[in-house]
């Protein structure tokens, strides 16, 4: 059905070109593929699935030294050990590991929306390690924000605004 509609726009219509937008950052123009609703839904489903191995890896990195020093910890230390977690001043290290893994997964999913200049490169093959090697975390966040703004220009205008602020803005225009 989509092909039938596309043909209605003529022979020169290129649906991939229409779905591609760009932004500049650091002197480079990045192209972004605007995802279909079904692609966004699939991305959200992937983000719901937690990678237990990655979470365990980060949890182990965060807690190995603490567990080894458990017996030596001063009595007034605000560290609690449970069967499957370590709490530092009430903060769960398992939750911290989960958040780190999910952040990496979100970054990777967003970067997969970038359009490579090299035709035969498949962005679905990228990993977070590849991204981290090229972009420091602060730039990863900036690129993600640029991607979000590029695929949904209203994103930054509505992000973080309360309903009342939105209503006031619309009344002024």
Residue 72 maps to a domain: yes
Residue 163 maps to a domain: no
Residue 61 maps to a domain: yes
Sheet holding 114-115, edge to edge: 20-25, 28-33, 114-115
Tens of pLDDT, residue by residue, the chain (173 residues): 777 888 888 888 888 788 899 999 999 999 999 999 999 999 999 999 888 999 999 999 999 988 777 777 677 778 888 889 999 889 999 999 999 999 999 999 999 999 999 989 999 999 999 999 999 999 999 999 999 999 987 755 555 554 444 444 444 33
Structural domains counted in the chain: 1
Residue with tokens 């209203």: 154
Q: Measured on CA atoms in the order 153, 155, 156, 158, is the torsion positive or negative?
A: positive
Residue 109 maps to a domain: yes
Closest CA to 22 of 146, 111, 138: 146
Contact 66, 54 (CB under 8 A): no
Biggest alpha carbon–alpha carbon distance for the chain = 76
Residue 50 maps to a domain: yes
Residues in the chain, total:
173
Residue 89 maps to a domain: yes
Structural domain of 47: 13-148
């Amino acid at each position: 059905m989509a092909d039938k509609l596309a043909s209605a726009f003529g022979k020169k219509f290129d649906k991939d070109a229409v779905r591609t937008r760009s932004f500049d950052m650091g002197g480079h123009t990045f192209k972004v593929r605007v995802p279909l609703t079904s692609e966004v839904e699939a991305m959200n489903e992937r983000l719901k699935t937690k990678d237990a191995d990655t979470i365990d890896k980060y949890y182990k990195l965060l807690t190995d030294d603490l567990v080894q020093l458990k017996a030596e910890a001063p009595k007034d230390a605000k560290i609690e050990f449970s069967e499957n977690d370590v709490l530092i001043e009430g903060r769960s290290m398992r939750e911290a590991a989960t958040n780190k893994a999910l952040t990496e997964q979100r970054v990777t999913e967003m970067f997969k929306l970038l359009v490579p200049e090299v035709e035969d490169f498949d962005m679905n093959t990228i990993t977070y390690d590849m991204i981290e090697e090229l972009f420091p975390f602060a730039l990863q966040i900036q690129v993600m924000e640029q991607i979000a703004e590029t695929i949904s220009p209203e994103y930054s205008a509505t992000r973080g605004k309360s309903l009342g602020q939105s209503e006031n803005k619309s009344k002024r225009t």
